[in-house]
Structure formats: structure tokens, C-alpha cells
Amino acid sequence: MISRDECREKAKELVSKMTIEEVASQLLHQSPAVKRLGIPEYNWWSEGLHGVARAGIATVFPQAIGMAAAFDDAFMTEEAGVIAEEARAKYNAARRHGDRDIYKGLTYWSPNINIFRDPRWGRGHETYGEDPFLTEKLGDGFIEGLQQKDEKGYLKIAACAKHFAVHSGPEALRHGFDVSPTEKDFKETYLPAFESAVKDKDVEAVMTAYNRVFGEPCCANNRLLNDILKKEWGFEGHVVSDCWAVKDMHGDHHYTKTPEESASLAVKRGCDLNCGCTFESLLMAMEQGLIKEEEIREACVHVYTTRFRLGMFDEECSFNNIPYSVVNCKEHHDLALKAAEKSLVLLKNDGLLPLDKTKIRSIAVIGPNAYSSKALFGNYNGESGRWCTNLDGIRNEAGDDIRVYYSLGCDIIEEQEDPLSRPGKYLSEAEEIASISDVTVLCLGLNADLEGEEGDTGNAFASGDKPDLLLTASQRKLCDRILSLGKKVIIVINSGSALDLSKYEGKANAMIQAWYSGEAGGEALANVLFGKVSPSGKLPLTFYYNDQPLPDFTDYHMMGRTYKFVQDTPWFPFGYGLSYCDTEYNNCSYEIKDGAVVVNAEIKNHSKLDATEIAEVYIRYEGDAFEKPHHHLEGFKSVDIPAGSSKNISIEVPFKRFSSFLKDGSKVLLDGEYTIFIGGSQPDEKSETLTGKKVSSFKLAISNGQFSGH
């Protein structure tokens, strides 16, 4: 098994044979060939957020935030394994045809493990939600799946944890914005997922963020890159800048004055690879005495160590044999279907769902996300060869005996769809089919044109962030018209973030949060609507009311944010989701052993449908502490329970998970009483009201680091 040290030695030897001009050229994301040494050109920029992205056909899984709703780190590993398999297959095929273009390499700039701290952030749907622990576990699972090894020890592909660090909008300000979080929030919220990715999963790359943190740009941040990432955590991979972020150092942050200063400072402080072109100034910077040749060479050794770890210079690497036929194959599509089913969150159900085919003769499917591929794909996506829209899925499952009507209803944002018509061109059509149908499925929400990254082509709000938590005006008008008919209505929300549809909750019979559900999203939705699958997803986000007070978007202090610190009762809480199945937690207990508290439960499925139950474990410190959370998630498990049967589960919570963060950012195990909760939701009043169930709880005490039950 080839080790990192062996790869580093090979990298040092190869880099030593390059001229300094050749070395500098290799620190750009589009690295040219060094023909005299037999080194082909290589583009470091590939994306795999929820499937191989921007490189043609690939299996498209639900957007990251949708997969977070499955609360299943083992499944994340399985999904990422498919992405890695298809990535290698596409790399092999591209090489055979001499194609070394962007998005066709083996260095994948995923996952995004930033914290979705504010519901307005446009890029939030690329993350795993608002909770540091959930983000950590899902990110670790994803990295593990991407970085599988063959018998020689080569990585299948290289993962990249991004964006380091303290990065979550506003998008419009990101190129010149300075974030100075409290030390408590810095250590408790913004760093844990990165620390685990480095220390527990040996992630191969870390991407810096655009913004400044504590006054220094992230791509030249001495505390982040040297004190924490390398010295404290022992990171040995390579660091890549976000795209054109080094240019921001002189262009927007005004931290440096010239490209030469920016390039040299970034490399000297630990940034090895430049997505962009500022590192073209390194040779000039060396002539100006701003950087030494050996510092440039050391950065090149870091990036070439990754290339050797990927087996790029070994034609006998077994991953070279992965055929193109695996791309978007049936087995991978079936996994995308399972992923979509696991991601759907049932927000409300008055008993209408699941639909009974024997009692329905007609269904109206209405809305801008009913027959839309954009509602499936989100952003940073590939193009599936077999995608299924919500309408397609419902039509296919309804069969020939149920008439399915369709109307666009409205444009997703424009109130006047046609310059020659009056606003609301499709409203009367939508009202007609709703009035003559037994049930209406109203498909609403957003797409990546309405929420996403700053500068994305076609983004309606330019910066990518949402102005509020409401549906667009065109969709609100459609809702008002359809719901006023008094017919049975199921609202399906495709979005990558929390919206407030509370105005319609009392008039709709059922509501489903479907996210951007991937290539099989429509089939998964139909399977849930008609009861072939019981919904099991839980919200990885707090769903706030639109008029609910939130801290200023630019305020990175966590007080008042997320389920841990929110003051007012939200519309739907983090960790919430309904099921068709009635599950019961029995014989709940805990034991203390081997440096952990092990929480046990028997979960009984009283229903005639198979259930997937997500058990959630929370901890609450009952004493006084600085800005302590209400409670915090520290364990979860997704469990399949056949109809009418039971499963025994155990969830291990290491002692360190009971620690609290003090004002100075130090992590301590406080003496006093703690409560442990286990159940199918948070231990909050809103979850209890919505589910009609209480979670089980236990008390334990800690004194001088010793755990004792009582």
C-alpha cells in the first residue's frame, strides 16, 4: 500500500526536475503540460456535490440539503461511492480521447460543509444544513465514499472540504466581507466539520473561502491555514483557493496592493493551488523578493503529492479499468431513487395521504415545478439521461385508470408570462382542472435561478440570496386561487431552503418538502403520494416564519439562530418530519462504557407499511453556562423497520460530545446535571405538538470528569 510519505517523495523528485517557470505553472487550476518530463496537462477543477457535475451525463442525486434530510451518513458514503465510480469512468473515457478539459479530472471540489446559519443564504442548499454535528457526520460519510482506495492504496478521487472557513453569505458581499465571529461560535459552530474532515477522514484538499476572517483573507489567513489547519489538526494535503479569491485580496479586500503581493502572500501562508490566474504573478513576485523559490516549489510538492496519491502516473492503477458503462447505469439510478425517497419530508397530513387509487378518478398537477427539470437538479449538477419530473412520476404511477391533468399555473417568478397577455395567463386553466379533479398536487417553490451562488448565470436576484422567505408573488396568487376552491390539495415544495407557506397550511390537506430531488425525484414523489414508500425525511433546517425576528444577515453570532439558539417558536422545527407509520420507542435506557454514553431503545413499527425511522439523540446541560444552546444533536441513526416488527438500536455518544464551549472558545466538560433525549424529533414543544409524541429522556451527572447515572 503506497503511503502519503512515499507519494510525497515521488512528488519532490519530480518537482526537482522542473524549472521554476514550470513549477509556477503547475500551481494554477489549469496546469499546462510539461512535455519534456512526460507530464500531461491537468485541470484541477471538477465538481461532485450530488453527482459528477458539469461534465455531461451522470447520475444526479438529490441536492446536498435534500440528502441531509435523510440523516444517514452510511448512505452518504454509498452515494459518494457512486459519484467516485462515475468520476473515474468519465476521467478514463476523456483521457482515451485526449480530452483534459475542465470538470474531467480526479480532484473534486466537494463537499460543501459550511453551516446554513441564515435561511436567506443562496448557497445554503449546497450544504448539509444548520447543525454542526449533522454536517460533520454527513461530510465525513461523503468524503469516505469519494476517497476509496484500491489494493495499491491509490485514491479513487480526491475530496475537498470547502469553504474554509466561517462562510455563509451574504453572497453580494463575499469578495470584500470581513467576519469576526465570537471565539465560542468559531470553535463550536464553524470549525468542527472541517476538523473532523481533516483529522478523522484525511480529506485530501481544503478550499479557502472568499471572505476575510478576523481581518485576514481566508486564502492567506495565517491563523486558519497554519495555526489551526496544519499545526493543530496536522493537515497534510493541499490547499486550493476559491475561484479568483486570491485576486480579491488586492481587488476587493485591499489587503494587498498588487497581484504579486497577493500571490506571494497566499503561497507563503499555505495556499498551494490557485483557482484563477493570480499565481501567474509568482515569478514576478520572486524577482521582487516577495517570495523564495523553495516556497513555490514546496507548494508544488503538495499538489503533486495528491496527483501521485491518485495514481495518475501509474498506468497499472486498477481504477483505470473502470468502464464508461457504469455512468448513469440502472443500479446507480436505483440508488438515486432511494436517495430521493429518503430525502422527502412530510410536513403535514390530515389523513389524505397516502392516496387510494381505488377512490380517485382524476388528479390535477399544477405549478411551475410540476414539469420542471430545474426543480430536480439544483446547482453544481450533472445532466441525467433518465430524469423524471413530478408530473412524469405521478402520471406513471396513476396509470390508465386515473386521468392526470396538468397546468403550469404560473411562471416561477414572472407575473406576466406573455408580453401580449394579461398577468396570470394560466390561472383560469389551473382553476378549471383543479375544480374538476378529485385532488390537486400543487408543485411550488424555487429553483437555482432564484437561489444560488453570486454571479450564477440567470440568477433572478443577482447575488443569489433570497430577499425573504415567501413564495414569489406569481406563486402566491396561484395558491390563493387554487386553495379558495375548497378542493383537496397537496402542496409539494421543491426548494433548497426554508420557505414560509404557513398562510396555506390550514387550507392544504398535506404538504411535502421535496428539495431539489435529483433525477428520480418525480418517481420518488409518486411513490410517497401513493403509499408505496412511507416518508421518512427530517428537516436539517429550522423553517422560520417570514416575519420572525432574525439577526442581521451579516451578523455571524449564532445567538437567535438555528434550533439551538432560536428564541421564538418556528413554523417547523429542525429534526421534524412525519410518517405514514406509527412508531413507538420502548425500553429506552443508557449505559456508560468505554468513554461513551450508549443510548439504547427498542423501536416498534405498529403499521402495515415498512418504516424508516430516524432516531435522534440530543443533550442538554442543566446548569449555567455562557450562551448555552437549548439542546444539541449528538447522535442519530436511520433504521429500517418492517411492518409490525421491532428493532433494537444503540447510539454511542462519546464523552467529548457533552462538552461546552466557553466565551474564550475553550472546550470544557462542565460539572452538573445533563439530560439525554432520544426519539423521532427534537425535545421541543412545537415538535411534540406536531407529532403528538414525547421523546424519552434520562438524567446523568458529571463531576470532575466522571459520569454517573441517577
Strand, coil or helix: 611 = strand
Rounded distance between C-alpha atoms, residue 80 and residue 356, angstroms: 36
> Environment class of residue 551 by beta-carbon count within 10 Å: exposed (0-12), middle (13-18) or buried (19+)?
middle
The contacts of residue 111 (CB under 8 Å, 6+ apart) are 49, 64, 128, 138, 139, 142, 143, 159, 161, 162
State the Cα–Cα distance between residues 609 and 535, nearest whole angstrom: 11
Q: Which class for 656: exposed (0-12), middle (13-18), buried (19 or more C-beta within 10 A)?
A: exposed
Q: In this structure, are residues 410 and 417 in contact, taking their beta carbons and an 8 Å threshold?
A: yes
In DSSP notation, 146-167 reads HT-B-TT--BSSB-EEEEESS-
For residue 40, say if its preceding peptide bond is cis, omega within 30 degrees of 0.
no
Three cell numbers written together for 393: 412520476
Residue 139 in grid coordinates: 461530510
Identified catalytic residue from 72, 73, 185, 242: 242
- 574 has which bridge partners? none
User: Are the beta carbons of 546 and 527 closer than 8 angstroms?
Assistant: no
Q: Which of 243, 353, 258, 310 is nearest to 84 (CA)?
A: 310
Q: Report the distance separating Cα 63 and Cα 391, nearest Å.
A: 19
Q: Which residue has the cell 413507538?
A: 584
Which alpha helices (H) appear in 17-131, and where do they start and end? 20-25, 64-68, 73-96
401 belongs to the catalytic site: no
> Which set of grid coordinates corresponds to residue 14?
519530480
Of 674, 628, 630, 629, nearest to 655 by C-alpha is: 674
Half-sphere exposure of 154 (CA within 13 A, CB side): 20
> What is the rounded distance in angstroms from the CA atom of residue 710 to the CA atom of residue 701?
7
Strand-strand pairing, 212-213 and 706-709: unpaired
Is residue 188 left, alpha or beta, with left meaning phi > 0 and alpha meaning psi from -120 to 50? Answer: alpha
Pairing between β-strand 205-208 and β-strand 216-217 as defined by DSSP bridges = unpaired
* Helix, strand, or coil (residue 324): helix
The DSSP bridge pattern shows strands 611-621 and 672-679 to be antiparallel
- b/e string for 564-577 if b means 16 or more Cβ within 10 A? bbbeeebbbbbbbb
Q: Give the Cα separation of 688 and 685 in Å (integer).
A: 5
Q: Is-cis flag, bond preceding 163, omega within 30?
A: yes
> Active-site positions?
242
